[in-house]
Structure 1
Amino acid sequence: MENQQHQFPIPPHTWNRPIGLGWDNPYTVRMASNLDDGPWHGMPLGGFGAGCIGRDSRGDFNLWHIDGGEHTFKSIPACQFSVFEQQAKSTPQAFALCTEPPTDNTLAAWQWYPGRGNGVYHARYPRSWFVYENVFQAQLSCEQFSPILAGNYQETSYPVAVFVWTAHNPTNQPLTLSIMLTWQNTVGWFQNAIKNPEIRMRDDGSPVYEYEPCLDSVGNFNRLVAEDNLCACVLERVASDLQDGIGQWAIATTQQPNVEVFYHTRWNPIGNGAEIWHSFTHDGSLPNIENTTPATNKEQVAAAIALRFTLQPGETREIPFAIAWDFPVTEFTPGVKYFRRYTDFFGRGGNNAVAIAQAALQNYQAWQQQIQAWQQPILDREDLPSNFKMALFNELYDLTSGGTLWSAADERDPVGQFAVLECFDYRWYESLDVRLYGSFALLMLWSELEKSVIRAFARAIPQRDDRTRVIGYYYTQGLESPTALRKVAGATPHDLGAPNEHPWEATNYTSYQDCNLWKDLSCDFVLQVYRDFVLTGATDWELLWDCWSAVVQTLTYLKTFDLDQDGIPENSGAPDQTFDDWRLQGVSAYCGGLWLAALEAAIAIGKTLLSYPADHPVSNILASGLDYPSIPETLHIFQSWLARSRPIYQEKLWNGQYYRLDSNSGSDVVMADQLCGQFYVRLLGLPDIVPPECTAQALNTVYDACFVKFHNGQFGAANGLKPDGSPENPNATHPLEVWTGINFGLAAFLMQIGMESEAWRMTQAVVQQVYNNGLQFRTPEAITAQGTFRACHYLRPMAIWAIYGVLTNFQPVIFTRSD
């Protein structure tokens, strides 16, 4: 059958790939112990912090992030759409819409979609599309999305995916179609079957623990719900206590005139599938069996709904389905439970999946319009390359599938608490050094969630944790591993904890390095506090008051590392900053610049607070119980540190072409991110920390040495090379990696000083590396010139929003409710 022009063109600026087409040489993981599920990843579906599911470009549902903070990548073939078609009395055809049949001989009676290339998959988060071609006489497409709406703190949390089918009959005879949705009952699966898993050190020095989903269906049953113009199958479990993975699934659709609804509430998803496929492939029907018998030991159960309708020649019909889930509890260490944000709107009983699905079916068209409304101004900009628009939206995927937490609201946190993992290899939340770059998206689109994260860090800074643990970096070097305190009072924590403990409360989970010694974290915190104030209108004085004591305490703590009293804390020679395999010694360009920038920001915060109305409760400043000088006294101290530091930085590090890596190692490496502090002061309207002419010269040197001379810019900018583009150490790790998020941050800096063509070239190189090599929707921290990657599903690449922010002067993206 010839490929026909569809009635429903797909919007531009998508990542797209022929349905079922694989990759000849997808990038593979650099370290065998790191996560590498292969390239079959599609756009995730589900609200922030609600858990999510993913469907790849061959039509397979294979990503199951239902348990907060945990990763399950597993094909469940019974979770699938199928289509039946017949014209007049001709032979009917029916296909399950995945090009990859199960490999274990389950569902052997089913016919699978013929691949490859019989249609195209498109994705532009939070919407994706399947367009089916060459197989059916009807023109068929399916749009998938969840209500991810900028500036919205309600629908964005909903655990629901909408599938809008559009069917058009281009022939001159009637066509009968039936669309079937089947779903396996996995209630109770997504909790750790390994009780109290032991934390161990992996070969890369990172702490890890085992996670294994339960996959136990005993007591699971399905029932039919037909009410209020809705038909649904509810998948649940015989009454049990609410915990991870306990609640409901619902698959639902609307009842429409001239559309027949069929169902089967109990069929065997691990058999041959004939009990539903026989009737479906015969005439598009199901046997209408309603059986609520719970599953017994070693038994699995699934449900199915099918809609059959006839299209007259030239007729088009839209058929919506919804998949909703209600698993209201996220449990961390045993006994530590949080309700998810969406429960503020649907209740906490774990029995509201139908209500969630019904809300989706009633509102999906409005949600489509609202998504389009907040994205359209960006899509309409002719000065933005198409694949930049594509990547700008698609990189937001991590806010859904990054092990995301979003808790129910309370008096202290009126929109709840929020957190995204650094990644699944480094499974701890909101790593502060990483989010210095990666949090621009959250800031620009959901600023209240961004501020909730910053407040969590402010609360953590005064806390201490005297537990000790082994430092993993030394293990990777073949050295005896020292132990260190988990959290020193006054130190800014590296992260907000891990999903196997108590996020937001037990911080500083990572033990690869002793992060109490890091020289960038305190500065990162102060800069993000002031950034979040300035770039959201400079009116949220409450944020500054809430964070002021932490700002003072952590900068005072960091100053104790200024051992020679030159004004700048020194790096110790151990990797003690975000490039945590890279040994910096003495005053470093990266950390020293952040120190100068943080002092400028802290001084600006203090001056702002002096002008704040006097009736603000002073106790907020003293929340930690520590006795701090007055704001004027503190400003005097900070200004004295800054006056001493600024000339030292220039004298020790500027060599006429770029800022040296550090003052003591003797290295002549050009560090790509040497002037991150200068980028931030320009971003926030603060005084330059280095002369503008030195900024321009240094960035030109970086661009030439780290980008152009590194494989002619094919991969992006490497972190650190000699001025001639050669490596200082050919066996080094971080210096020779291209860090996707650092590249996007560096491109934003280039854009900021007017080097636009260079910024676009660097951005395009990284986007192509990710989206052409099977890394889509699992963007890694690092790629190499050898076609490998490290740390996928990474937080930092959302720094791509910094590029757009610089271009637009960080104008907020506003969401307006249609109701």
Structure 2
Amino acid sequence: MKNFPGSPNIPAAAWTRPIGQGWDKPYTVRYASNLDDGPWHGMPLGGFGAGCIGRSHRGDFNLWHIDGGEHWFQSMPACQFSVFEQSAQGTRAYALVKEADERGLCPPFVAPLPENPGTYHALYPRSWFAYDGGLQANLVCEQFSPIWAHNYQEPSYPVAVFVWTAHNPTDAPITLSLMLSWENMTGWFTNTLKSPDVKVRDDGSPVYEYQPRIGESEGNFNQWRIEGDAAGCVLGRRLEAPPAEGDGQWAIALLRSDIADQTSQTEVFYHTRWNPTGDGGDLWATFSKDGSLPNVCDETPAIAGERIAAAIALRVTLAPGETREMPMALAWDFPVTEFAEGVTYLRRYTDFFGATGQNAWAIARTALAQYRTWQAQIQQWQQPILDRGDLPDWFKMALFNELYALTDGATLWSAATERDPVGQFAVVECLDYRWYESLDVRLYGSFALLMLFPELDKAVLRAFARAIPAADPTLRKIGYYATQGTESPLVPRKLAGATPHDLGAPNEHPWEKTNYTSYQDCNLWKDLGADFVLQVYRDFVLTGSTDTQFLEDCWPAVVSTLAYLKTFDLDHDGIPENSGAPDQTFDDWRLQGISAYCGGLWIAALEGAIALAKSRGQHSNPNAPPPTDSPETRWQEWLTQSRAIFHPTLWNGQYYRLDSGSGSDVVMADQLCGQFYARLLGLPDVVPEDCARSALKTVYEACFLQFHGGQFGAANGLRPDGSPANPKDTHPLEVWTGINFGLAAFLWQMGLPDEALRLAEAVVCQIYSNGLQFRTPEAITAVGTFRASHYLRAMAIWGIYGVMTDFATLRSP
């Protein structure tokens, strides 16, 4: 970007790509049934659980997560920015979209941008379009939503701000006009299938169909509004009753004058009813001529089969050398999320703007009034990290950009209640496995939420604590057996005492109806109970060991889930055995007997539970010894047994064997997750330190350096010489992005920072160089394919930063 007086400060760490530049060979999806929207993804705009919109670095708005929990991806030609310029060199007008394509990004009446128009930059929650080609003026758009750490209000807002900065570098006046056009999509984003059938696809995962009301605009109308310095259009429909899902409004708004200089004059134009499916002449004829619109104020509702849109424009004349700032806002107000038919929740932002569905204009005006404060808050949050000279820019870039999933991960954030004072929160595992807060995945993936919004992370764990004692005897088949060509037994959905795998899915009742996934029988998993206990202890101790209410809320579930998990210790040696079926997070990978992965987590969880018990005692009666039949007494007995056999059974002198029953010599990359968590939380080591170092060194060499020269990251499981045990394996030969970030955090924790950064950098390079940005997958392969995009676990990169800084962000609200 060409710097100019007053130009925005775009951090050097931002992800950068020429506007509209594609990829010769972007990564493609591994399984045809998985989601692959292509590489045109940009930083999402919108608040947590409020719905979000994606705008690609081509300039088009193309990702629409307006319906809570649902995904729709399509470029909308009517929704875009356009620019008119008149200078000594003549007049020109462009739609600020790089190119048309077969999907109709640009209507035929709109001139797309010329070659090399500028550069796109992204550092969540901010991104920039810097236009320095095709125009005489320098033009930069900074777009963002009000998201910063330790804030439980503004990050819920359904709003995007676009701050345009224009500079005249010539010695003659330049007239610029910026237009924002938007289609009235009120009523579109709700599933017409109120009880969609659930099917099992070819990879064994449950799926259901989503059919939004795209294009159904009957009854929609647009209004022109002016209040104070704000002017714009409200796009809605008349309501006869309290709003249902899909009911509400959109609003587009601008400031009529530069708030830094109230004497400055600007000209505002509008059109409240133009045809987004026609030839566009009702907008483009005047805009391309002089940057104006015809100022049509028509509130006639759309008839059946008709679609309508609105547009606003701001025209200014820049003197030679002048720089002007011109903010615009896009807001939406769809307060109700419906899951199964009749199961509805209000969104968190309604706590601040009400639940009438008539507040889009108020939200937009708030944005225009507060955007500079929001910019300052975001910068204040990000700057200490950006200023660190010991961290490479690629790490800072990925650290912030991987937070995109908190916005676009089909995110839910409900309104506050007495039971849940900051509401309930949830992010899906991914858009292919669309169930919420998979507990095994968030063992690493929740570090970001914990470090930046700890009360939301605690809300998630409270939901798991409530679900553990519940039972759902509904019988169902398990998808894994279908992938193996065998008949599945019928198993109950949820057993009492078992820790659920997830908090449910958007087509049922999240938080209340859990264990949605049916790929495996999660009642048999050997890591979930330990994962829950470790996350509870983590959240308690890393937030100061003072939140006794959180401890008490989770305590009964800690007791019951460990008792349930112990029932899988069939030989009574202290450690629950893996059954030979895939019964843990690597759910295509059979483990038999005692396993390094699950056994280590079990030992760490027992240590964590005992520490929680001591904390409870210190807050109640610190001098009273535990009764002989107390849970902690039993846990200590189990722990003593477990420690006596874990190391002798699995240690082979170099690393920990995969398990005790298979005879495999595979080096599992995540074999010491339990040791990582124990050291992270100040608990006694699971294994001797010298053995941990030897195992970690073996993992680094076998799974990373010897796997295609370390260019992809660490594969999940290879033999000591880097060869696969079975070339046809699935999970062992995949590079899991979040597991790699967790492994990098472990390397840093063990005093190997160079190795940690080399591993993390390889994974980040694969994501951001191959069209996977803002849709980070669970897994990549050495042949340029991926699986499970928009994945939760990749936010584990914040675990690396947490280990680097001793989780200082939790002490800096």
Shift of the alpha carbon at 1:92?
Answer: 1.1
8 Å Cα contact 1:150/1:813 also seen in 2: no
Q: Which residue of 1 aligns with 2:102?
A: 103
- Rounded to whole Å, the distance in 2 between the matches of 1:208 and 1:141 is 42
Q: State the alpha-carbon separation in 1 of the partners of residues 22 and 812 from structure 2.
A: 38
- Aligned position for 2:245: 244
Partner of 1:680: 677
1:319 aligns to what SS in structure 2? strand
Q: Distance in 1 between matches of 2:627 and 2:200?
A: 45
- Contact 1:220/1:235, CA 8 A, preserved across alignment: yes
* 1:42 Cα offset (Å): 0.1
Q: Which residue of structure 1 lines up, in the alignment, with residue 466 of structure 2?
A: 459
Letter paired with 1:571: N
1:186 alignment counterpart: 185
Q: Who is 1:207 aligned against? A: 206
Q: 1:537 to 1:145 in 2, by over 3 A?
A: same
| Change beyond 3 A, Cα 1:753–1:798 | same
Q: Cα deviations across residues 161-197 of structure 1 (Å, max 9, x unaligned)?
A: 0000000000000000000000000001111123321
SS at match of 1:611: helix
The aligned counterpart of 1:142 is 141
Residue of 737, 740, 764 corresponding to 1:740: 737
How far does residue 297 in structure 1 lie from its aligned partner after superposition?
1.3
Q: Is the 8 A contact 1:374 1:813 kept in 2?
A: no
Alignment of 1:528 onto 2:535:
yes
Matches within 5 A, 1:664-813: 664-812=661-809
Give the C-alpha shift of residue 647 in structure 1: 1.8
Bigger shift: residues 39-48 or 97-106: 97-106
Conserved? CA contact 1:151–1:814, under 8 Å: no
Shift of 1:220: 0.7
Q: Contact (CA 8 Å) 1:494, 1:515: kept in 2 or not?
A: yes
In the alignment, residue 243 of structure 1 is paired with which amino acid?
A
Question: Structure 1: how far apart are the matches of 2:275 and 2:436?
Answer: 39
C-alpha deviation, 1:39, in angstroms? 0.2
* Unaligned segments of structure 1, at least 5 residues: 616-628
Q: Map residues 115-134 of structure 1 onto 2, 5 A cutoff.
A: 115=115, 117-134=116-133
In 2, the alpha carbon distance for the partners of 1:800 and 1:268 equals: 45
Counterparts in 2 of 1:343-492, with a 5 A limit? 343-492=350-499
Cα distance, 1:706 vs. partner?
0.3
CA deviation digits over 1:688-712, x for unaligned, max 9?
A: 1110010000000000100000001
Give distance in 1, aligned partners of 2:155 and 2:10: 23
Are 2:332 and 1:325 aligned?
yes
Choose the corresponding residue for 1:636, options 633, 652, 655.
Answer: 633
SS at match of 2:273: strand
Partner of 2:345: 338
Q: CA 1:562–1:217 in 2, change beyond 3 Å: closer, same or farther?
A: same
Report if the CA contact (8 A) 1:673-1:746 is conserved.
Answer: yes
Distance 1:327 1:815, change over 3 A: farther
Name which of 536, 546, 559 aligns with 1:539.
Answer: 546
Partner of 2:620: 613
Deviation digits for residues 594-633 of structure 1, max 9, x if unmatched?
0000000000000110111369xxxxxxxxxxxxx96972
2:337 partner SS: strand
Q: Give a deviation string over 1:657-699, Cα, whole Å, max 9, x none.
A: 0000000000000000000000000000000111001000000
**Distance of 2:210 and 2:240 partners within structure 1:** 22
**Aligned partner of residue 176 in structure 1, secondary structure:** strand
- 1:306 maps to what in 2? 313
Q: What is the alpha-carbon distance in structure 2 between the residues aligned to residue 386 and residue 245 of structure 1?
A: 41
Deviation track 1:516-548 (CA, whole Å, cap 9, x = no partner) reads: 000000000000000001111111111111111
Report Cα offsets for 1:291-347 as digits up to 9, x if no partner: 001111111100000000100000000000000000000000000000000000000
For 2:50 and 2:627, locate their aligned partners in 1 and report how far apart those are by CA, in whole Å: 43
1:55-70 map, 5 Å: 55-70=55-70
Matches of 2:148 and 2:124, distance apart in 1: 11
**RMSD (Å) for aligned C-alpha atoms:** 1.3
Contact 2:194/2:340, CA 8 A, preserved across alignment: no
Give, in whole Å, the separation in 2 of the partners of 1:467 and 1:748. Answer: 40
Q: Distance in 1 between matches of 2:524 and 2:139?
A: 58
Q: 1:104 to 1:582 in 2, by over 3 A?
A: closer
Summarize deviations over 1:189-218 as a string: whole Å, max 9, x none: 111123321100010000000012211111
Q: Counterpart in 2 of 1:94?
A: 93
Secondary structure, counterpart of 1:663 in structure 2? coil
Alpha-carbon distance in structure 2 between the residues aligned to 1:689 and 1:541:
27
Distance 1:696 1:614 in 2: 40
3-state DSSP of counterpart to 1:715: coil
Q: Residues 102 and 272 from structure 1, CA distance in 2 versus in 1: closer, same or farther, beyond 3 angstroms?
A: farther
Cα separation, 2, equivalents of 1:400 and 1:75: 19
Distance 1:45 1:765 in 2: 28
Contact 1:110-1:274 at 8 Å conserved across structures? no
Matches of 1:27 and 1:14 in 2, distance apart?
22
TM-score, reference length from structure 2: 0.97
Structure 1 position 813, deviation (Å): 5.2
CA distance in 2, matches of 1:27, 1:745: 23
* Alignment check: 8 A CA contact 1:150 1:814 kept: no
Conserved in 1, the CA contact under 8 Å of 2:530 and 2:601? Answer: yes
Structure 1 segments, 4+ long, off by >4 Å, are 629-632, 813-816
Contact 2:339 2:508 in 1 (8 A): yes
Shift of the 4–700 alpha-carbon distance from structure 1 to 2, 3 Å rule, reads closer
The answer to whether the Cα contact below 8 Å between 2:542 and 2:810 also exists between their aligned partners in 1 is no
Q: Partners in 2 of 1:283 and 1:84 — Cα distance?
A: 7
CA contact (8 A) 2:114 2:133 kept: no
Higher alpha-carbon deviation: 519-528 or 235-244 = 235-244
Give, in angstroms, the shift of residue 415 of structure 1: 0.3
| One-letter code aligned to 2:423 | G
- Is 1:561 matched up with 2:572? no
| Alpha-carbon distance in structure 2 between the residues aligned to 1:604 and 1:207 | 38
- Give, as a single letter, the amino acid of the residue that structure 1 aligns with 2:157: Y
Cα distance, 1:613–1:466 mapped onto 2, change above 3 Å? same
Residue of structure 1 in register with 2:260 after alignment? none
> How do residues 575-590 of structure 1 correspond to structure 2 at under 5 angstroms?
575-590=582-597
Q: Structure 1 counterpart of 2:130, which letter?
A: V
Which residue matches 1:254? 255
Q: 2:477, 2:490 within 8 Å by CA — same for their partners in 1?
A: yes
Work out whether residues 162 and 364 of structure 1, in 8 Å CA contact, stay in contact via their aligned partners in 2: yes
**Distance between the aligned counterparts of 1:665 and 1:104, measured in 2?**
52
Q: Please tell me the residue identity of whatever aligns with 1:124.
A: L
Residues 742 and 253 (structure 1), Cα distance of their counterparts in 2 relative to 1, 3 Å cut: same
CA contact (8 A) 1:144 1:164 kept: yes
The share of aligned pairs that are identical, in percent, is 69
2:329 maps to amino acid: A
Distance in 1 between residues matched to 2:351 and 2:514, nearest whole Å: 26
Displacement of 1:142 in angstroms is 0.1
Q: Secondary structure of 2:90's match?
A: coil
What are the Cα deviations for residues 6-63 of structure 1, in whole angstroms up to 9, with x where unaligned?
A: 4425221011100011100000000000000000000000010000001000101000
Equivalent residue pairs, number = 799
Other-structure match for 1:28? 28
Deviates more, 1:286-295 or 1:606-615: 606-615
What is the CA-CA distance between 1:102 and the residue it aligns to?
5.6
C-alpha separation in 1, matches of 2:628 and 2:103: 68
- Aligned counterparts of 1:130 and 1:630: Cα–Cα separation in 2: 65
Deviates more, 1:224-233 or 1:26-35: 224-233
Give the Cα–Cα distance (whole angstroms) in 2 for the partners of residues 325 and 408 of structure 1: 17
| 1:590 partner letter | Y
Of residues 427-436 and 240-249 in structure 1, the stretch that sits farther from structure 2 once superposed is 240-249
SS in 1 for 2:166: strand
